[in-house]
Amino acid sequence: MPIATVNPTTGETLETFDAFGPEEIDRRVQLAADAFARHRTTSFAERAGLLNRAADLLEQDQQGIARTMTTEMGKPLAAARAEAAKCAKAMRWYAARAEELLADEHPPEADVTDSGAASATVRYRPLGVVLAVMPWNFPLWQVVRFAAPALMAGNTGLLKHASNVPRTALYLEDLFRRAGYPEGCFQTLLVGPDAVEKILRDPRVAAATLTGSEPAGRSVASVAGDEVKKTVLELGGSDPFIVMPSADLDRAVATAVTARVQNNGQSCIAAKRFIVHADIHDAFRDRFTAAMRDLTVGDPMDESTDVGPLATEKGREDLEQLVDDALARGATAQCGGRRPPGRDRGWFYEPTVLTGVTDAMRIHREEAFGPVATLYRVAGADEAVALANDSPFGLSSNAWTRDEAEIERFSRDLEAGGVFFNGMTASHPALPFGGVKRSGYGRELSGHGIREFCNVTTLWHGKDKEA
């Protein structure tokens, strides 16, 4: 895949970039290693000052970088502005809390004595150079949620961003440079996927984090395993959205629409499978379908647009194949199921609701990365749990109910990294984010995220023989 900015609204190639050669990659890896030797010795106060300055600059740049993201991958402009604001918030959150999150831990005195020590401490120390392989769908947020904690912990970062968002990738390197980070602390590598393995195998690279497809995750995990290097993987999801009879149906429907079409439907934690109790299924179906049909599909630079284009032509083709397979096998499109009539340019697809989906259809198992919802009818909580868990993924989940027994049941039995009740799944700096099964492993954000790329070190001091 060429490294290029291609406007998905028009299909026009706006700019292409030459990939770095081996010498430039080697130079930048060495810069990152040299920077780590210095950055790891800085104080939390120094690191916080730099990260807060980056947040200030990002807020100043909000409108410009939002337009860059919308141009490169098609998200509505308002959503792009919100993404930039969220990144600044996360930077400030880690700047304020990293020292506390990584504070020395002291085991109970009785356990220290039992170990034969005079004292013992657990200390979190940075690992080194972290390689980040990031996707295009949230081109700022995906990077910042790795970079902010990694830099605050004392690590340095190398970013291999998706090949269709090079302007955003280069902006990020420039942002940290303008904030005052020393050369090498955070760098963008303009390279294709074929360069990742060699970079990851480089002994100067300590660990890797990847958000992306399951095949990409398997590849990185395989190489990292061979090199015995730490990885964190977030590999997408097909999140269930369960609605039970006690739910506030108006709120559930309104949230369901947003949860399915946020970011033009291209979000790992977007609700994709809507599992609705039979008692309210038809009412939910009719309201949900009407709301999806009424969404405005158009130019993402237009403030009135609800749903922009898919980010890539290949992405739309993949989505079409999933929908066409389902329709050919007996599913019904309550709305959508096609490209918008009259739009010959750009990679648009109509918001779609499919009913009559069965396990014989690909879309039942595969992630639909676009504004396509599958709707299921269930008889009760047991069937809802079984259907929700009937997926190779386990990133997050939604459940709409005011029944305490059902809340406890879903909390216990849904196989996911998160269960959100009566509200939309979202990521927040204070909450751990990640999944189970083929959605990956490890956690981003919160204290768990900042500790992923730390050396958890035991400091043990023996007793003085004369004591």
Residues 380 and 382: their CA atoms lie apart, in Å, by 6
- Read off the amino acid at residue 399: A
Rg (CA), the chain: 23
Q: Which residues pair with 444 in a beta bridge?
A: 433
Phi, psi (deg, nearest 5) at residue 223: -65, -45
Burial class (CB in 10 A: 0-12, 13-18, 19+), 27: middle
Instruction: Count CA atoms closer than 13 A to 105's CA, side-chain side.
Output: 12
Among 261, 262, 374, 264, CA closest to 310: 264
CA separation for the pair 290, 375 (Å, rounded): 14
Would you please indicate which residues are annotated as catalytic (active-site) residues?
A: 234, 268
Please check whether residue 86 is in contact with residue 133, taking contact to mean a CB–CB distance below 8 angstroms: no
What lies within 8 Å, CB to CB, of 363 at 6+ separation is 322, 323, 325, 326, 331, 354, 357, 372, 374
Handedness of CA 194, 215, 454, 137 (dihedral sign): positive
- Alpha-carbon span 295 to 91, nearest angstrom: 33
pLDDT tens, per residue, the chain with 467 residues? 799 999 999 999 999 999 999 999 999 999 999 999 999 999 999 999 999 999 999 999 999 999 999 999 999 999 999 999 999 999 999 999 999 999 999 999 999 999 999 999 999 999 999 999 999 999 999 999 999 999 999 999 999 999 999 999 999 999 999 999 999 999 999 999 999 999 999 999 999 999 999 999 999 999 999 999 999 999 989 999 999 999 999 999 999 999 999 999 999 999 999 999 999 999 999 999 999 999 999 999 999 999 999 999 999 999 999 999 999 999 999 999 999 998 889 999 999 999 999 999 999 999 999 999 999 999 999 999 999 999 999 999 999 999 999 999 999 999 999 999 999 999 999 999 999 999 999 999 999 999 999 999 999 999 987 54
Closest CA to 416 of 399, 396, 398: 396
Phi/psi region, residue 437 (left: phi>0; alpha: psi -120 to 50; beta: rest), is left
CB 81 within 8 A of CB 100: no
Number of other CB atoms surrounding residue 323 within 10 Å: 25
Would you state the structure tokens that stand for residue 196, as one six-digit string?
């990742």
Estimate to the nearest angstrom the gap between the alpha carbon of 423 and the chain centroid.
Answer: 18
Q: At residue 207, what are phi and psi to the nearest 5 degrees?
A: -160, 170
CA distance linking residue 12 with residue 29, whole number of Å = 33
Query: Residue 451 corresponds to which amino acid?
Result: R
Output the CA torsion 71→72→77→82 (10° steps): -150
pLDDT for residue 298: 97
- Measure the CA–CA gap between 418 and 364, rounded to whole angstroms: 21
Q: Tell me what pLDDT residue 169 has.
A: 98
- Comparing CA positions, the residue from 209, 133, 269 lying closest to residue 444 is 209
Cβ atoms of 242 and 398 closer than 8 Å: yes
Nearest CA among 272, 189, 203, 202 for reference residue 237: 272
pLDDT at 457: 98
CB 184 within 8 A of CB 155: no
User: What is the C-alpha to C-alpha distance for residues 31 and 181, in angstroms, rounded to an integer?
Assistant: 13
- Return the pLDDT at 278: 98
